[in-house]
Structure 1
Amino acid sequence: MSLINVTNLSFAYDGSYDNIFENVSFQIDTDWKLGFTGRNGRGKTTFLNLLLGNYEYSGNISANVSFEYFPFQVANKENNTIDVISEIFPDYLHWQLMRELSLLDVSEDILYRPFASLSSGEQTKVLLAALFLKENSFLLIDEPTNHLDMTARKLVSDYLDSKKGFILVSHDRAFLDNCVDHILSINKTNIEIQKGNFSGWWENKKRQDNFELAENEKLRRDINRLTDSARRTNSWSHEVEKTKKGTKNSGSKLDKGYVGHKAAKMMKRSKSIEKRQQTAIDEKSKLLKNLEDADSLKISQLVYHKDRLAELENLSIYYDEKMVSTDISFTIDQGDRIALMGKNGSGKSSIIKLICGEAINYTGTFRKGSQLKLSYVSQDTSHLQGNLTDYAASNLIDESLFKTILRKLGFSRVQFEKDMSAFSGGQKKKVLIARSLCEQAHLYIWDEPLNYIDVISRIQIEELLLEYQPTILFVEHDRMFSEAIATKIVNI
């Protein structure tokens, strides 16, 4: 066991006026299995790069271990997989590699196939196996789940649960709960570490947020009450001050000592109220700094003139005359929230493309309602570039609503000035989802919409779909999300 000490860490990118981190201090035990969470764009990957020494920063990071980052960059994917592993870790022992591959349910024969021929899930597993060959290193694992189906996620999560000494960036709640024992969270104003899994951290955060909201409301009422008291006291003091001058022709003698005593009491009371008021304001200023903007989202769905929107019957899909899926039958009716499930490569995306009108080779029956309006969110975000204003105009959506949704999903206003090509993976996915939410449609089709998207935004989207109950067909490997949303599950 050794410690990683972070002391007074501050960092900002060149040309930026805003610090990503400012005077951050904490300790990490290198035996921990640390889940790393925070909204998109907060600096999770940046922090991993700081540990790796890739950026200059102020403050201090001290550690008696070396760091290894996942995913590795594979320079030549046409090489055989075993050669790719040798480039990553030349001194590995073959029996150790076979042990790790066995734990990840990967067969030995893939070592002698070109790395490029492996599926995305197989590539992820191979690179994880290579990562854990490196002993005496603290491992930085950045979003390993994005190319894993639900079965593979459970397998990799169990694999990581058997290990220790890593930071894991993931937004999949079930995945994190299964394999971490501490949570490192990047909040609005600080970084915190808490023992336990993600669900425990989330419950504690909600309790803290609710306490601060209640305390904030109490202090707001106190400040208003004290302000009113101060106003009344000042008014009384003014009236007492006027009596010092006496009343003309009153024929009575003024007791100036009594009046002075009364004025002094008023002054003391005024000072006391002012002090209590300032104390309440100071206490109020300490609250809500890490309360996330998680306002509810809205959707405006069109109503189709028939209950049934689409129907697939005994459908088989082919690629280059090779059947990839067979005997698919299901219907899409208004109000359905359908989760398409199945292993990667089973044909889920092909079904989505077929419904969206792309040319797909198939046999069987496919019917779709006429004049059916669709809103589609694709897996791919590589086409996003340019500014958000032009993007809204080119997609014929309301710019104000579009940006309001992005704000609710955690975008800062400074992001609106940036080119979309500079956005993080999660921010790009939010652009696609925000566009879809702005579109009026009969059917929403989302293909792995949550890749790279932070947990808080996932929960917002979950709550939106449960509240407004749009008709939606989706592919998503986040088990908690799918189980919460789906009214119907179609296994491919």
Structure 2
Amino acid sequence: MTLLRLEQLQLAYGTHVLLNRADLTVERGERLALVGRNGTGKSTLLKLVAGDIQADDGSIWRAPGLKIGVLAQELPESSGMTIFDMVAQGLPEAGELLSEYQHLINDPDPDMNRMATLQTRLEAIDGWSFHQRIDVVLTRLGLPPEAEMSALSGGWRRRVALARALVSEPDLLLLDEPTNHLDLDTIAWLEEQLLAFNGAVLLITHDRAFLSKLATNILELDRGKLGRYPGNYAEYQARKQHELEVEARENAEFDKKLAQEEAWIRQGIKARRTRNEGRVRALEAMRNERSQRRERQGTANLTVDSGERTGKRVVELKGVTQRFGDEVILRNVNLEVMRGDRIGFLGRNGAGKTTLLKILLGELVPTEGSVQLGTNLKVAYFDQLRAGLELEKTVYDNVAQGSDRVSVGGKDRHVMSYLQDFLFTPDRVRQPVKALSGGESNRLLLAKLFTQPANVLVLDEPTNDLDMETLELLEELL
């Protein structure tokens, strides 16, 4: 059964074309993984499907009565709401109708006609089970309904956002980086849920294992074109590599012929003869075709200056306990980090991983125990919530910090040149950070961190939102 059909979609922001005559059909039971470089428009495509924004041209057909559940890339706002309140946003109509119905019940002189209308509508949308449906999802995800959103870690807030997307029992799930901030157990649970889901799934993910296990087809957004590849991610990679090789050969042949024609036209007199007018027109067409060509985005160039060597012992924790109110987050933690160690912290959402990092960084003084730092430490901290980025400032100003030059690896470089290593084009460099995609924001945060020498890297969820190519480069760097 067809749930969704996109036909000849066009979308551009200024001169930047995100979608160029894109077509897509989504059938019930399909799990489609959308891949592409950061900033190509993947999240924008999901917003088009959800109806949050409109295309410049083309059409979107949705099956009558189609219910869409959305998990956005951004974490939900945390202020002034309980978990139950946040998940209830996934059933907005039922919540509003029940609220109005309850108000009429408490009215000493209710409008009986309106009450009858509300009853009919609530029955039609299964609104009477509003609280039960929310409770079922909260139980499945292990979420306490009365907990305050403001007290939750990034991983727990992500779980809440998942619950909000699932509570409406949608026909089509739109998931933008669903594994971000989730612990391994929750990722495994999510895999099982999606494999058993009888609707359709359209997801964006950087998690290669998650993608390989779930995807029935790969969709790729590349330079405005939306391509579809049957099979898993490995099969897509092989086909895509072949396509790029063919494209490179064809472009080289085209450019060689264009150069020959440009040399011919410079001869002047021959080109002006009547019998050569067709050749001149053909050259103009070739020039136009070449000007329209969009080159594939290159790969980032990630380097970090390690600076002075640390002492042999980087940091030592003895008997560290951390409490927040009556809740014990860390209990009697002993840890020694030596120069050359590469340590990964694993644990359930809310177990205290980020808290432990902040204690190691000296940003948080533990309730009990001691923290002894080594000598010559130069720490670069990648914060999963990107607090180090100023959203209203431009990409350029976030890195430049009032100067036109940065020192990287002992070399003095212009900020524009340095940002090109992180795949920021001149026009993107002048954009405010709030206009960037999640992956672009993480690339910018890495660029900002690496402008300072660092012999200790502390990375809290550094892979979130990064495209596959940049993720692999970060792995090599580490």
Distance 1:160 1:406, change over 3 A: farther
Q: Which residue of 2 aligns with 1:392?
A: 399
Match of 2:453, SS? coil
Does residue 9 (structure 1) correspond to residue 5 (structure 2)? The answer is no
Q: Is the 8 A contact 1:36 1:44 kept in 2?
A: yes
Question: With structure 1 as the length reference, what TM-score do the two structures score?
Answer: 0.71
Q: Which residue of 1 aligns with 2:458?
A: 445
Q: Which residue of 2 aligns with 1:368?
A: 373
What is the distance in 1 between the residues matched to 2:238 and 2:295?
15
Does residue 380 (structure 1) correspond to residue 385 (structure 2)? The answer is yes
Please report how far the alpha carbon of residue 433 of structure 1 lies from its aligned counterpart in structure 2 after TM superposition. Answer: 0.5
Distance 1:341 1:456, change over 3 A: same
Match of 2:354, SS? helix
* Structure 1 gap segments, 5+ residues each: 235-270, 466-492
Q: Which residue of 1 aligns with 2:232?
A: 197
Q: Which residue of 2 aligns with 1:64?
A: 63
Q: Which residue of 1 aligns with 2:468?
A: 455
* Greater C-alpha Rg: 1
Amino acid paired to 1:335: G
Distance 1:335 1:126, change over 3 A: closer
What is the distance in 1 between the residues matched to 2:190 and 2:306?
38
Q: CA RMSD in A?
A: 4.0
Please report how far the alpha carbon of residue 187 of structure 1 lies from its aligned counterpart in structure 2 after TM superposition. Answer: 0.9
Count of matched residue pairs: 414
Please report how far the alpha carbon of residue 285 of structure 1 lies from its aligned counterpart in structure 2 after TM superposition. Answer: 7.1
Q: Following superposition of structure 1 onto structure 2, how do residues 37-436 of structure 1 map, counting pairs within 5 Å?
A: 37-56=35-54, 57-65=56-64, 66=66, 68-71=68-71, 78=80, 81-82=83-84, 84-89=86-91, 90=94, 91=126, 93=129, 100-101=137-138, 104-106=140-142, 110-113=144-147, 120-135=154-169, 137-163=171-197, 164-210=199-245, 212-213=247-248, 219=253, 291-304=296-309, 306-320=311-325, 322-382=327-387, 383-384=389-390, 385-394=392-401, 398=406, 400=413, 403-404=416-417, 406-436=419-449
Match of 1:398, SS? strand
* % same residue: 24
Distance 1:116 1:323, change over 3 A: closer
Match of 1:338, SS? coil
Please report how far the alpha carbon of residue 207 of structure 1 lies from its aligned counterpart in structure 2 after TM superposition. Answer: 4.3
Please report how far the alpha carbon of residue 293 of structure 1 lies from its aligned counterpart in structure 2 after TM superposition. Answer: 0.9
What is the distance in 1 between the residues matched to 2:384 and 2:85?
30
Please report how far the alpha carbon of residue 380 of structure 1 lies from its aligned counterpart in structure 2 after TM superposition. Answer: 2.6
What is the distance in 2 between the residues matched to 1:186 and 1:68?
22
Q: Is the 8 A contact 1:35 1:176 kept in 2?
A: yes
What is the distance in 2 between the residues matched to 1:354 and 1:329?
12
Please report how far the alpha carbon of residue 292 of structure 1 lies from its aligned counterpart in structure 2 after TM superposition. Answer: 3.8
Q: Is the 8 A contact 1:309 1:368 kept in 2?
A: yes
Q: Following superposition of structure 1 onto structure 2, how do residues 469-480 of structure 1 map, counting pairs within 5 Å?
A: none
Which of the residues 23, 33, 36 maps onto 1:35? 33
Amino acid paired to 2:47: N
Match of 1:337, SS? coil
Match of 2:343, SS? strand
Question: With structure 2 as the length reference, what TM-score do the two structures score?
Answer: 0.73
Distance 1:203 1:320, change over 3 A: farther
Distance 1:55 1:419, change over 3 A: same
Q: Is the 8 A contact 1:176 1:198 kept in 2?
A: yes
* Structure 2 gap segments, 5+ residues each: 95-125, 268-275, 408-412
Match of 2:206, SS? coil
